[in-house]
Structure 1
């Protein structure tokens, strides 16, 4: 009788322990990658506006801690830039072999490429008048020293499956997939429309030759629904980045930012009207900068940087940290 009681009691405790483990596991899963509380933005550095005079992309290196990559918007020539974490020690590197008379660099990202190399991906995807037949992504190996110029490992010519789009957001998933998030608005920039998300798989772009690559449509993301009280400037995409672990992504607008709790490569994204605030996404109130068009997760994934392309005075970089 006593033994039987002990067995029952032991079974009870075992069941209780397993139940607690299950609850904790579920809690871990549901908590996932979405940060619930962000710090106020603090200035982390200033860019040299004589060189980086229309900053349109930023990315923090994991391979070389303390290094930041930057690009200029259209008209800046075929260059990218390297600084330290404070925006000092600016290096200007020419991209050789690019023959376009005029490119429109809008974003850049870092990701794995070709046999475990790390690469800088520069997105020539701007198309304000929506007339381009194709867009381009330039793939450059991440090196400790570049000198004054570098030849790309690859240049990807991409075409949308439907029509021409203007875009300012491009990011690389840790699995190597390339994502482009478009900037959809009317020509006088007074009304926003749903952004469109496209993908090119790692397998396709790494194994392709020089032929044109067809982007795959994934989903619409309607920031009018996510930010109904905002202006059109808070409802269009100005930059985009995927977390180092791939479990979340950031979207910058001209007024604020959004973090989405989904792994695009595994789960895609729900229809916008099905997204739940504080579960599927959070809107992050920012210290707004004029013409803010660059955002990058920090290598830890627990914070991000953003900056302005406005260059008449200083070009500050702002750091925001997750307080969870």
Structure 2
């Protein structure tokens, strides 16, 4: 089924409009929720350097002395131009801080997703093709156990085994991929395993269900009745159709990792967006909190948009609408 160019343009236009509406809602929600957080960010930012003169000057410079509706209008206008303000704590532009931390989080998310795919696809397919057998039960119980484990507990367990007990890998720290590939690889394994194992447990269950659904289709029975071997049926028909939904769940998991690795990054001292958000919340750094949440929302929407387009491109039965 060929999709007309006009249909693609209409689909992309609708998705971009939808994303813009969602982003505006995120802007509004985050702005007013941050305003409701107890504590004085200016007082916290000054710390022991507090004086009334310094307090008033920083209050005026940050615009927090203006009425709330003026602060909101200014924030929306600045955000549309890429100006996310200045961090109360460091005095650096929020945009610059976010761009500095973004590569660490993206690299961790990619490694975690690859680990999840390498585990979940074979496990999910194997479990579905052996439904009701002992191996199926073991995989289902293991995946349920993986879903139930908190990220921080998984991370501490991996540190205890691979860093403290066996001394094979460093327990924390970060080296940029462009500076030292080997050093980056050694340090990304444990946090990558932490997020990857949890994501794999979730994806295994989806893949198993997708394979079971395809296996029950009439065209699978027809293929087998033609005398095709089990391996050919699995490769050409079952996997080809069952793994299309993997795009969706993989995209969701990738976006979830990007926006939900706060605990993992804190445990492994990984200098990504999650750690930045954690520090910003602790310091009541309004501008940094708002900018971080906005960037995470943008990445989540972009990933979903790419997944929607790829899903329709891979499966010819699906029309862009």
Q: Between Structure 1 and Structure 2, which shows a larger proportion of strand residues? A: 1
Q: Between Structure 1 and Structure 2, which shows a larger proportion of helix residues? A: 2
Say which structure, 1 or 2, has more relative contact order (CA 8 Å, 6+ apart): 2
Q: How high is the TM-score relative to the length of structure 2?
A: 0.24
Q: How high is the TM-score relative to the length of structure 1?
A: 0.24
Larger radius of gyration: 2
